[in-house]
Every structure is written in C-alpha cells, then in structure tokens.
Amino acid sequence: MRIEENIPLLEDIFSEWKHIIGNEYQGYRNHVYRMVHFCLVLRNCNDEEREKIIIAGAFHDIGIWIKDTVDYIPPSLPPAMEYLKKRNLEAWSTEIELMITEHHKIREYNDTDYPLVEIFRKGDLVDFSLGIFKFGISKAYINQVKAKFHNADFHKNLGKRATKWFIRHPLNPAPMMKW
C-alpha cells in the first residue's frame, strides 16, 4: 500500500489544534498518520470509511492536550462531535464516538454494525505497541510507515504523562483502558 505523506483532511483538522498540542504536535501528528495507515492496510476502505478513520484519528487522543490528562477519552469526544456537526456529518456520530471510546479496549470489539471500531482499535494498537502487535500487517510495511513518520518522542511524552498520573492516581493507573 502507498504511504501518503500528506493527508489534506488530517492537515485541515490539525491546523485548528496545532497550537494547543504545542511542542508535542509532531509526535501526535506522526502517531495519527501511522495509525491511519495501519487502519487502511487492515481494511480495504471505501471513501466514506477512510474519511471516518481520518476524523476519528485526528481527535482520538486530543483530550491529552485539551485537559492535560491521561484520562483523555472523555475530553476527546466533544471536539470530534463539534467537528461532525459543523460538517453536517452527525449521522457518523455514533460510529466516530465508538472509535474514540473503544480504541484502548483490551478485548476485541464485536459489533458488526460498526466494523471500523475494531479496525481503529487494531490500527492504534499496532502503533502504540511499536509494532509488537501486527494483526497481519507485514513488519516491512510497519517499518516503512515508521520511517516516514518518526516517533518524535510521542511514546516518551506519553510515558512522562503516565508516570505523573500514576503518582497522583495509583489506584487508577490507566483510566483510558477498557476490558
């Protein structure tokens, strides 16, 4: 599969959030590009599915910077829903919301009405795990995508945030995870 170095829809969405993400922007941008590519190789998407993956990808972790928290899934939803409303795409709200809320689900997401939710979960996990989980994606492709979109300290910055969170919330070390 071809690696797209510039996805206009993603860049358009990011333009509004770049200043909020600040010096961690490149890391988040590259994470989203990697996971979008992994999602698209996991499923031969039509144009609508591709657009949904891109939109959910742009917003899925944005709450990290909006609320400066590791408990970022709830604050990631309102900007995504606002974006859909502004674009008259409210019919996609349930699916996009599920893609965001379930992307750290440990177990497989099994709802045949929304197959993109599981694709999105897997695509994020391929990147979050640094390619340990592959779901059938070739190691060569994963490495090609990682070479185009360097980590730019994304995982390191997440680790720093997670450590601070754990110290303050030892009984709730990973609030974004779901069974």
pLDDT of residue 68: 87
- Residues 61-86 have pLDDT tens digits of 999 999 988 788 999 999 999 999 99
Alpha helices for 87-137 (secondary structure H): 93-101, 115-128
pLDDT value of residue 173: 64
DSSP 8-state class, residue 105: B
Q: What is the pLDDT of residues 36-62, one digit of tens each?
A: 999 999 999 999 999 999 999 999 999
Helix/strand/coil (H/E/C) assignment for every residue in 46-98? CHHHHHHHHHHHHHCCCHHHHCCCCCCHHHHHHHHHHHHHHCCCHHHHHHHHH
- pLDDT one-digit tens code per residue, 144-166: 999 999 999 987 887 787 777 57
The tens digit of pLDDT for each residue in 4-20 reads: 999 999 999 999 999 99
Choose between 107 and 173: higher pLDDT. 107
Average pLDDT, the chain: 93
Give the model's pLDDT for residue 169: 73
Provide, rounded to the nearest whole percent, the portion of the chain with pLDDT above 70: 95
Identify the pLDDT of residue 178.
65
| pLDDT at position 108 over 60 | yes
